[in-house]
A and B are shown apart, each in its own frame.
Chain A
Amino acid sequence: EADIYQTPRYLVIGTGKKITLECSQTMGHDKMYWYQQDPGMELHLIHYSYGVNSTEKGDLSSESTVSRIRTEHFPLTLESARPSHTSQYLCASSGSGTGRLETQYFGPGTRLLVL
């Protein structure tokens, strides 16, 4: 059973507000990921981390930022939310295995609506 948590599950917020989406995992996984998912579209990787103090941008350009100060915690921040940021954000983690063989475990997601 994967133990990866995301809060909030749903967020409605006005344009210009700063928001932080929380993601935590209790599996001791080194690697963590943030994906953006729009209806009817594939998941796009926006950030990933190999471990503490390691963060990289993913395939899809995003105005969000991430940090990895603790192994278990990988928050995503939008300094000034805009309607174009409306989407579902999924957090995932995987162990320190041989890369391509690893299973990624996903959190339940945060649905963000920016008005």
Chain B
Amino acid sequence: AQSVTQLGSHVSVSEGALVLLRCNYSSSVPPYLFWYVQYPNQGLQLLLKYTSAATLVKGINGFEAEFKKSETSFHLTKPSAHMRDAAEYFCAVNLGGSQGNLIFGKGTKLSVKP
């Protein structure tokens, strides 16, 4: 069965510091992985997605994620946090087949301190 685990429900960093949000997956098929961001009182917005073309994926707002098959991980990073990055971040894996249904992790809330 496919699942997604996000380690740490809450991460706090200082402005300018490295952001690292962890995501591990389990999948019986080669996974397609996604990171979404949710700002307060808004819906989810796609940050980036892994589709097997390249292991290092660059997304919007300076975020990137690296797919590591040996570690079954897809951690999200940003070299320098900004106040506007404060939001909740969700990792998701796509099921096999043609349905396109996503399984989401529980989310990690990122706080950025001045």
Interface membership of A106, Cβ < 8 A = yes
Range class of the A interface residue count: 20 to 34
Interface hits, A45-102 → B, CB 8 Å: 45, 48, 58-59, 90, 92, 94, 97-102
Which residues in A have their C-beta under 8 angstroms from that of B4? 42
Which chain A residues border B46 with CB–CB below 8 Å? 103-105
Using an 8 Å CB-CB cutoff, how does the interface string of B37-64 with A read, 1 for contact, 0 for none? Answer: 0000111111001010000000000000
Task: Contact check, A107 vs B100: say whether CB atoms are below 8 A apart.
Answer: no
Closest to B98 in A: A99
A-chain residues with CB within 8 Å of residue B51 when the two chains form the complex: 101
Q: Tell whether, in the assembled complex, residue A103 and residue B43 are in contact, meaning their CB atoms are under 8 Å apart.
A: no
Say which residue of A40, A41, A98, A104 sits within 8 Å of B102 (CB atoms).
A104
Q: Could you tell me if B106 and A100 are in contact, using CB atoms closer than 8 angstroms? A: no
18 contacts between A and B (CB under 8 A): A40-B106, A40-B107, A42-B107, A43-B44, A43-B90, A43-B104, A45-B101, A92-B44, A94-B100, A97-B100, A99-B97, A99-B98, A99-B100, A100-B100, A104-B44, A106-B44, A106-B45, A107-B43
Give the 4 A-B CB pairs with smallest separation, nearest first. A106-B43, A99-B98, A100-B94, A106-B44
